[in-house]
Amino acid sequence: MRAIDLITTALRNLQRQKLRSILTIFAVVIGATSVTIMLALVTGAKGFFISQFSANGTLQQVAVSSKTDLTKFNDNSGGGNSCDSCVKLSDDLVNKIKALPHVTGVARRLSAGAFEAIIYNGTPKLSLNQIVGYDANGILTNTMLVGRDISSNDTTGVVTVTSDYADKWGFKGHYGDLIGQPVQLLSRTWYQGVGAVITPPSNQPGDHNGPRAGTSTTLTATVVGVSDATSQSASVRAPLAWVRQMNEQQMYQQTDADRQAQQAECQGSHGPCNPQPHFTLVVTDMLATNGYDALTAKAATPANAAAVAASIRKLGVGAADAESFIQAQLQIFNIISLVLGGIGGIALAVAAIGVVNTMVMAILERTREIGVMRACGATRATIRRLFTIEAGLLGCLGGVVGVAAGYGLTYVANILINRQLLAGSVQAKNIIGLPLWLIAAVIGATTIIGMLAGLYPAFRAARLNPVEALRYE
């Protein structure tokens, strides 16, 4: 029997028991739909993450921290003076990293935590966690919606803000109007950095040599750009040099010259001398004490990132590439895929049992017909093929309908996700993909499952004795 005749005969046989065939196919549909959605979700999510990371060069980045046990790529909490025994992230270390093979550059990152609020044009102040500065050498970038990012020409007085600030200031939908506008950065009372007004100590006992309690400093900056709040953009970014100045400590100290001047006042005095204490405002760059918060090295290619991380770790600091971070992000999708895969797997197993049942029933009903076919010259192999193809068609049709249902559901899901992405100003759409290979794989798999489930009934049909089959009532 020719293949085309086997298939048309098998299809006609399935049509004879429409309800039974539909019910059997329905079970396959449930399994195929679950598996389709699962695979579409996982491949779509992975593709989305990897494309996002590839687009901004994250796959080439290696995070460097003074924490030697750094495992998380996006852990910026290390550094500073939180770890006395740690190796400081100094410029000396930066130069050593730059000298390593496959390293094309290093971005230094520093944050100023002494600011509590950001104010625009007298609007209520919005809380501010920290002001972030990093080298504008293209290794770390903000995802800009309008305006420009901080550049290497900027030194002080400019910031970029994320769109959530712009939204709260009433610029939603016209972020461009915020560009060039001044904003105030309001410090905490203990701020001693650039711009802080430090009062000289008086002669009163117990007077301290820093700023007086209750006084905040306001720095004014011009907004040069609005960045994407949903990406990994810094919430308020300022030039690295300016952030370094914000971390300075200004305080009045008595220098040797002050002491000499004080002693000079009493020279020639024979009675008790009570000279005015002399103080000088000393500015200390805290970078030498604390180092940078974090460094980000850039590897020549994403493939080099792991090797670069390993060689940086040999310098006594922690280093991690983006791979581990991506894996962590994909964990949730792996869990979803396991759940859906489990449902799909169980549904497909039940469907396979349904196919076996349907085909065994078909053999009982068509025993005499099998006898007639054998009398007319059908070989055992022909009977076996016919029943295997019938079972395979049940699986195939279930797969086709399941993929169609999966396509419909992913289409709806994409519409919903696109809305969310648009609301968050993310430049991506239709992240759940249904590639051609996936469609072919699901239909192919359900067809094979159907054929495997049909093997036992098919062998049973082929083994029937033609004489007994013809006598079967």
Partner 1 sequence: MSVSVELNHVTRTYRMGDETLHALDDVSLTITPGEFIAITGPSGSGKSTLANIIGGLDMPDSGSVTVDGLNLAQAHDRQLSAYRNQAIGFVFQSFNLQPNATALENVMLPLTLARMHAGPRRARAKECLEAVGLGERLRHRPTELSGGQRQRVAIARALANKPSIIIADEPTGNLDSERGGEIMKVLKRLNADGITLIIITHDLTVAAMADRILHIKDGRLTERTK
Q: What residues line the site for partner 1 (CB under 8 A)?
A: 1-2, 5, 9, 16, 368-369, 371-382, 466-467, 470
Helices 367-375 and 322-365: angle between axes, nearest 10 degrees: 80
Question: How far, in Å, CA of 38 to CA of 344, rounded?
Answer: 9
* Min CB(467)–partner 1 separation in Å: 5
Burial class from Cβ neighbours inside 10 Å (0-12, 13-18, 19+) for residue 423 reads exposed
Q: 298 vs 374, which CB is nearer to partner 1?
A: 374
Q: 375 vs 415, which CB is nearer to partner 1?
A: 375
Q: 149 vs 390, which CB is nearer to partner 1?
A: 390
Strand pairing class (318-321; 61-65) = antiparallel
Q: 378 vs 400, which CB is nearer to partner 1?
A: 378
| Side chain identity at residue 381, one-letter code | A
Q: 55 vs 372, which CB is nearer to partner 1?
A: 372
Q: 18 vs 314, which CB is nearer to partner 1?
A: 18
Residue 66: φ, ψ to 5°:
-75, -15
* Min CB(13)–partner 1 separation in Å: 9
Q: 96 vs 380, which CB is nearer to partner 1?
A: 380
| Side chain identity at residue 78, one-letter code | G
* Min CB(44)–partner 1 separation in Å: 44
- Residue 114 in contact with residue 210, Cβ under 8 Å? no
* Min CB(369)–partner 1 separation in Å: 6
Question: Would you state the structure tokens that stand for residue 95, as one six-digit string?
Answer: 């130069």
* Min CB(4)–partner 1 separation in Å: 8
Residues 6+ apart with CB under 8 A from 327: none
Q: 55 vs 375, which CB is nearer to partner 1?
A: 375
* Min CB(365)–partner 1 separation in Å: 11
Q: 376 vs 436, which CB is nearer to partner 1?
A: 376
Q: 189 vs 465, which CB is nearer to partner 1?
A: 465
Q: 26 vs 459, which CB is nearer to partner 1?
A: 459
* Min CB(466)–partner 1 separation in Å: 5
* Min CB(378)–partner 1 separation in Å: 5
* Min CB(372)–partner 1 separation in Å: 5
* Min CB(356)–partner 1 separation in Å: 24
* Min CB(463)–partner 1 separation in Å: 11
* Min CB(6)–partner 1 separation in Å: 9
Q: 23 vs 467, which CB is nearer to partner 1?
A: 467
